[in-house]
Amino acid sequence: MPANPGGRSDLQNWLSDTLEPVLGHVPEFDDDGDLPIQFDTGTVFVTVDDDDDLIEIFSPVVADIGKTDYAAFVVHALNHSYPILKFALHGKMLMLRAYLYADPPVEAHLFRCLDECRTVFQDAQEIADDVSGRLAWSPEPESSTDDDLPTLIQILVQLDAGGEVELSDEEVARICGHDREAILRYIRIVEQQMINWRNSADEALTSGDSDEAEVCLHEAEGWAKTARDLRGALRAVALG
């Protein structure tokens, strides 16, 4: 009998059951099937390729690399130091990715891969300094109003607001000009908006204003949807 008779859903369930004790909460896959795992200085995304019984892990590590020629040497050194992970340059961005065969899935292999990712992000600032770049997940200044948001984010928000057509990963990537670094920057901005609205909802609940809290949570969910769209676009551009 195949190890994953249910395909994608069975493998996602296995990931959830395996990672829950480690993460301390039930992992949640987004609408694109990505499971974000947060480290101190970055986030990796875990996804399932049910066609080939693969678990895929990917993340940007360093952006805006200045020493691109030297970065090629750094990539070679990283690939030697982390045998499970695969590092590559995409323009001025350093990406990591890994593929784990999952027929059957092996818990020890997953944990070793995530441990290597954790170590990479612990050293990410040093790597960024070495290639004259910056941490890909470094925070952006908060945007206080919609007028402060980049035009492309405002476009995505308006398209999401219609709710009539679900944008594909490729369509969102095309709207963003297939620009990896721009998409990553948009993700940070959008996720900060989501956090701001959730904080506002908490404040409203604390003050006893449940109606205002409901409005804030609705706004937060809208930003969460835009973040999921952008993560799908990042995957399409960086790994497609």
- List all residues 6 or more positions away from 206 whose beta carbon is below 8 Å from its beta carbon: none
Mean pLDDT computed over 153-166: 68
- List all residues 6 or more positions away from 66 whose beta carbon is below 8 Å from its beta carbon: 92, 131, 132, 133
CATH of 8-135 given 3.30.1460.10, 3.30.420.10, 2.40.10.120, 3.50.50.60: 3.30.1460.10
Partners of 97 in the β-ladder: 58, 86
Mean pLDDT computed over 22-28: 84
**Dist CA 93 CA 109 (whole Å):** 27
Q: How far is CA 143 from the centre of its chain?
A: 20
Residue 140 has pLDDT above 80, yes or no: no
Residue 236 has pLDDT above 90, yes or no: no
Percent of the chain with pLDDT over 90: 28
Residue by residue, DSSP assigns 188-229 as HHHHHHHHHHHHHHHHHHHTT-HHHHHHHHHHHHHHHHHHHH
Q: Provide the pLDDT for residue 72.
A: 93
Distance between the two ends of the chain, CA-based, in angstroms?
32
Angstrom distances, CA of residue 109 to CA of 16, 112, 114: 15, 5, 9
Q: Is the pTM of this model over 0.85?
A: no
Q: Is 176:152 a contact under the CB 8 Å cutoff?
A: yes
Question: Could you report the per-residue pLDDT of 85-108, keeping only the tens digit for each?
Answer: 999 988 888 999 999 998 888 999
β-strands 42-49, 35-39: how paired?
antiparallel
Domain spans of the chain, in order of start: 8-135, 151-239
Question: Could you report the per-residue pLDDT of 29-56, keeping only the tens digit for each?
Answer: 876 778 888 888 888 999 887 666 889 9
Residue 180 has pLDDT above 70, yes or no: yes
Mean pLDDT computed over 199-204: 86
Q: Provide the pLDDT for residue 108.
A: 93
